[in-house]
Structure 1
Amino acid sequence: MKKLCVAFILLFSSLSFAAGELSGPAPDFTLKSRDGKNIRLADLRGQVVMLNFWASWCGPCRQEMPILDDLAKRYGRAGFTLLGVNVEQDSSAGEKYLQDTPVNFPILWDPTSEVSKLYNIDAMPSTVMIDRDGNMRYLHRGYKPGYENDYKKQIKELIRE
């Protein structure tokens, strides 16, 4: 029985979980936004920030985008900022997708994957929650219906702090 328990622990400790807690300062960056302005993460200190790394070819990203737009609208006045970071080298596919599925939150272009590398992004979509002090607090890899409930809970928690 003991060997079975150890094997079970080893198996599940090696799996990558969809969501987890993070700690440490969020790496600062500046990226060009869809409207041509540069956005710097450090300038958003004092806000709860959600970074959502996405690509137009990613089905779950497409499914999640309208939900993210609703979150941005719902919590924007409470000190919450959502930034969509498109990871494609050529932004034209992302731009086309956004024409068909418009969003009101800022979209940033990361064509060299510089910011994606800073955050060790290895799944699409990936979402990082950052508290008002600029510390990474939560990471979500991928998207499945229902993850938005976790997002809402974490946003409310971080806003209240």
Structure 2
Amino acid sequence: MKRFIQYSALALALAINGVAAAEQAPDFTLKALDGTNLRLAEQRGDIMLINFWASWCGPCIQEMPQLDKLAQKYQPLGVQVWGVNVESDSSAAKAYLNKVSVGFPILLDQDNAVSKAYQVEAMPTTVILDKDGQVRSVHRGYKPGVEKKYEEDIKGLLRE
């Protein structure tokens, strides 16, 4: 019964955020700033935190160091953080990242095809996927402290 209540609560939370429970995440391949191509489907078996952001977005910039801390802490446990920059011209993102370095991959969604597939309507938007590539939570916007919710989501998925 406890498990049923947990899943019901999760389904309700995901529905409120506009994502059906256990919906398969759209696959994509994007070029990273380092020139490599990364494909989401090849990451099965890892928990994925995908953060859609832009350099003109103040909350995105504020959140970036917190995401880097999460990436460093949970990467050894099979959690990946990917930043997806949604700007058609990546020069401002590159300039920002030259000042504030992060250890996780930054991918370029210059034509916004991936952000459209994920129904990104607010900056930043963070999507957390389970090890099977299912969307488990979506967080729109950023306020200091929301990274604690990301961490709760990650810990819950690690326990599954």
TM range (shorter): 0.7 to 0.9
Task: Percent identity, please.
Answer: 54
> TM-score under structure 2 normalisation?
0.87
Report deviation, 1:20.
Answer: 7.7
Larger radius of gyration: 1
* 1:72-91 equivalent positions in 2, closer than 5 A: 72-91=71-90
Partner of 2:147: 148
Residue 137 (structure 1) aligned with residue 136 (structure 2)? yes
Provide Cα deviations, 1:101-143, integer angstroms capped at 9, x if missing partner. Answer: 1000000000000000000000000000000011000000000
Partner of 2:54: 55
Report deviation, 1:82.
Answer: 0.4
Report deviation, 1:146.
Answer: 1.1
> 2:19 & 2:155 partners in 1: Cα distance?
17
Work out the number of aligned pairs and report it.
Answer: 146
- Shift in CA distance, 82/29, structure 1 to aligned 2, threshold 3 Å: same
Provide Cα deviations, 1:29-49, integer angstroms capped at 9, x if missing partner. Answer: 000001100000001000000
Q: Which sections of structure 1, spanning at least 5 residues, go unmatched?
A: 1-16
After TM superposition, which residue ranges in structure 1, 4 or more long, deviate above 6 angstroms? 17-21
Partner of 1:13: none
Partner of 2:102: 103
Partner of 2:69: 70
Report deviation, 1:79.
Answer: 0.6
Q: CA RMSD in A?
A: 1.7
> 2:38 & 2:17 partners in 1: Cα distance?
28
> 1:152 & 1:20 partners in 2: Cα distance?
19
- Shift in CA distance, 120/155, structure 1 to aligned 2, threshold 3 Å: same
> 2:38 & 2:100 partners in 1: Cα distance?
22
Report deviation, 1:23.
Answer: 2.9
Q: Which sections of structure 2, spanning at least 5 residues, go unmatched?
A: 1-15
> TM-score under structure 1 normalisation?
0.87
Amino acid at match of 1:148: E
Contact 2:19/2:135 (<8 A) preserved: no
> 1:131 & 1:42 partners in 2: Cα distance?
12
Contact 1:22/1:139 (<8 A) preserved: no
> 1:78 & 1:59 partners in 2: Cα distance?
30
Partner of 1:46: 45
> 1:100 & 1:19 partners in 2: Cα distance?
35
